[in-house]
Amino acid sequence: MGAGPGGAAAALKLSYLGIPSVLIDKATFPRDKVCGDAISGKVTTLLNRLDPDILERFNQRSIQTDVWGIRFVAPNRKELDIPFQPNYVREERTAPGYVARRFDFDNFLVDEVRRRENIQFFEGVAVEAYERTDRGWLISGAGGSVLVDARMLIVADGAHSVFSRKIAGLEKDLRHHAGAVRAYFSNVDGLAKDNFIELHFIHAIAPGYFWIFPLPGGRANVGLGMRSDILSRRKINLRKTLLEVIEEHPVLRERFKNARLDGEVKGYGLPLGSKRRAISGSHYMLVGDAGHLVDPLTGEGIGNAFYSGFIAAEQLQQCLAANDFSAAFLKAYNQRVSRVLGSEMRLSYRLQKMLAYPRLANLLANIIAGNQRVVAVLSGMYNDFSLREQLVKPWFWLKMLRRR
Domain residue limits at 265:
174-271
pLDDT of residue 398: 61
Q: Does residue 91 lie in a domain region?
A: no
Q: Does residue 95 lie in a domain region?
A: no
pLDDT of residue 86: 60
19-23, 128-132, 377-381: which has the minimum mean pLDDT?
Answer: 377-381
Q: Does residue 83 lie in a domain region?
A: no
Q: Does residue 72 lie in a domain region?
A: no
58-67, 348-357, 377-386: which has the minimum mean pLDDT?
Answer: 377-386
Shared domain check, 387 and 330: no
**In CATH, what number is assigned to the domain containing residue 256?**
3.30.9.100
Shared domain check, 189 and 265: yes
From 255, 271, 287, the end of a domain falls on: 271
385 pLDDT band (50/70/90 cuts)? very low
Q: Does residue 87 lie in a domain region?
A: no
d(CA 285, CA 335): 12
Shared domain check, 167 and 220: no
Shared domain check, 258 and 155: no
Shared domain check, 154 and 18: yes
Shared domain check, 45 and 161: yes
The average pLDDT across 45-60 equals 91
Shared domain check, 290 and 199: no
pLDDT of residue 136: 92
Answer yes or no: is pLDDT of 71 > 50. yes
Answer yes or no: is pLDDT of 93 > 60. no
Answer yes or no: is pLDDT of 387 > 80. no
Shared domain check, 133 and 233: no
Closest CA to 243 of 222, 228, 258: 222
Rg (CA), the chain: 21
Q: Does residue 196 lie in a domain region?
A: yes
From 217, 249, 271, the end of a domain falls on: 271
- SS3 string of the chain? CCCCHHHHHHHHHHHHCCCCEEEEECCCCCCCCCCCCEECHHHHHHHHHHCHHHHHHHHHHCCEEEECEEEEECCCCCEEEEECCCCCCCCCCCCCEEEECHHHHHHHHHHHHHHCCCEEEEECCCCCEEEECCCCEEEECHHHCEEEEECCEEECCCCCCHHHHHHCCCCCCHHHEEEEEEEEEECCCCCCHHHCEEEECCHHHCCCEEEEEECHHHEEEEEEEEEHHHHHHHCCCHHHHHHHHHHHCHHHHHHCCCCEEEEEEEEEEEEECCCCCCCEECCEEECHHHHCCECCCCCCCHHHHHHHHHHHHHHHHHHHHHCCCCHHHHHHHHHHHHHHHHHHHHHHHHHHHHHCCHHHHHHHHHHHCCCHHHHHHHHHCCCCHHHHHHHHCHHHHHHHHHCC
Shared domain check, 255 and 134: no
Identify whether the C-beta of residue 284 lies closer than 8 Å to the C-beta of residue 170. Answer: no
Shared domain check, 33 and 17: yes
Shared domain check, 281 and 141: yes
The average pLDDT across 392-400 equals 58
Shared domain check, 296 and 246: no
**In CATH, what number is assigned to the domain containing residue 146?**
3.50.50.60
Closest CA to 1 of 109, 161, 112: 161
pLDDT digits (tens, 9 = 90+) for 206-239: 888 899 999 998 899 999 999 999 999 999 999 9
d(CA 216, CA 237): 29
From 215, 247, 271, the end of a domain falls on: 271
Q: Does residue 244 lie in a domain region?
A: yes
d(CA 149, CA 30): 27
77-86, 330-339, 354-363: which has the minimum mean pLDDT?
Answer: 354-363
361 pLDDT band (50/70/90 cuts)? confident
Domains in the chain, number: 3
pLDDT of residue 78: 87
The average pLDDT across 314-343 equals 93
Q: Does residue 94 lie in a domain region?
A: no
